[in-house]
Amino acid sequence: MPDAVAPPAAPARSFLRGAADLGRGFGFWSRRPGVMALGLIPAAIVGLVLLGGLITLVAFLPQIVDALTPFADRWPDLWADVVRIAAGTALLGAAIVLVAVSFTALTLMVGEPFYDRIWRAAEADLGGAVPASESGFWRSVGDAIGLVARGLLAALIAALVGLVPVVGGVLGSVTAVSLTGWLLADELTSRALAARGVQAAGRRRLRRAHRARFLGFGVATQLCFLVPLGAVVVMPAAVAGSTRLVRTVLADRD
């Protein structure tokens, strides 16, 4: 396909259109409830495992922070508390980034047959021929490893930003949601793009050209993940919504 891309809309409008793509993904629940329900199974299994890990981290967070900041024991209480709160916030923010990215990677890997069916159903519902997909279990494993590796880097960046005194909590949270949203959009749209012969370099160019829209989709997905049980319910809709996002973006560039 040609490398040229059409000029994207205004960033704010594109961002909202990306979030709306996720919303339209939920519409597939009413049209293909049986296929969509299949996506709940792997999401629930992975979600329970990762939620248990996150709860364990929260339970032991004070002890972990104390172990990481022994130098603050000799400081005045005020400054020791500031440093430890910043460290705890940074650790928690980094953990949330890693959990969100790991959840997506592991769920797509474990549920490859289910999400492939959802993708095909979404493609058929949107009209036109369903492109041949080369996805499979081992490719999903490779994608999962790559996504988790990038998630570790994003978690480290969010943790470092979170260490900024006073405003670190807010800045770290914004950084975490933005970086995670971008990674989620990248991973969720890769199947539909790869099936159309758009290679990695072409996918990067396309995402950069429509950065706000991809980010809007990813951030909306990430925020839904933060709602209790949201990640389980959202995953099938995210797969369907990412398919629509790819179809409309590619139609704009043709």
Count how many domains the chain has.
Answer: 1
Residue 217: pLDDT band by 50, 70, 90 thresholds?
very high
| Residue 94 to residue 89: CA distance in whole angstroms | 8
Q: Is the pLDDT of residue 139 over 70?
A: no
Is residue 70 domain-resident?
yes
Regarding predicted confidence, which is higher, 172 or 241?
241
pLDDT recorded at residue 1? 44
Q: Is the pLDDT of residue 56 over 50?
A: yes
Is residue 6 domain-resident?
no
The one-letter code for the residue type at 216 is G
Structure tokens at 165: 């005194």
Domain limits for position 241: 11-253
The contacts of residue 8 (CB under 8 Å, 6+ apart) are 14, 209, 210, 211, 212, 213
Is residue 1 domain-resident?
no
Is residue 23 domain-resident?
yes
Structure tokens at 145: 């490893």
Is residue 126 domain-resident?
yes
Q: Is the pLDDT of residue 190 over 70?
A: yes
Is residue 2 domain-resident?
no
